[in-house]
Amino acid sequence: MATQGVRIEPEPTIGDLIGRLTDDSKRLASNEVRLARLELGESMHHAVQGGIRLALAFGIAILALVGLSVLLTALIGSVLIGKTWPGALITGALEIIAGALLLWAGMRAMKKADFTLGESRAELRTTMTRLSDRASKLRVTME
């Protein structure tokens, strides 16, 4: 009857520890770059959405305001017995107000995009702390 022996693995050498630290560092750096790319893509997506909304709002506003300009100028002109210039002034003022409101809405949408890469910076700090801790443990082991 044969008994199986217990295999005892030797303590890792300093070279092994440094190799593991190097591999871990490479993997962590690769993950940080991947996270930064994802965050940047998400921020760009929000910025593009805001830009598209601004462009659509601008195009629709131009078409609507041209029609409103003609209508309001004609209505005010008929009310004021043939004087169309007050209608044009009032219509222009309303167009300026509508344009300002659309500009404000578009700028608000653009502010939602975050280009600071906050998650990447926080993760990088965590990584640096871990690497520093491992390096100090390795120094203690070497001494």
- The full set of domain ranges for the chain reads 38-131
CA distance 14 to 45: 46
pLDDT (0 to 100) of residue 143: 62
Cα distances from 127 to residues 21, 28, 29, 124, 133, in angstroms, run 12, 7, 8, 5, 10
More confident residue, 141 or 29: 29
Can you tell me the mean pLDDT for 56-69? 86
pLDDT (0 to 100) of residue 19: 83
4-8, 17-21, 34-38, 120-124, range with the lowest pLDDT: 4-8
Query: If you compute the radius of gyration of the chain from its CA atoms, what whole number of angstroms results?
Result: 33
Q: Can you tell me whether residue 13 is helix, strand or coil?
A: coil
Can you tell me the mean pLDDT for 20-42? 87
CA distance 90 to 17: 78
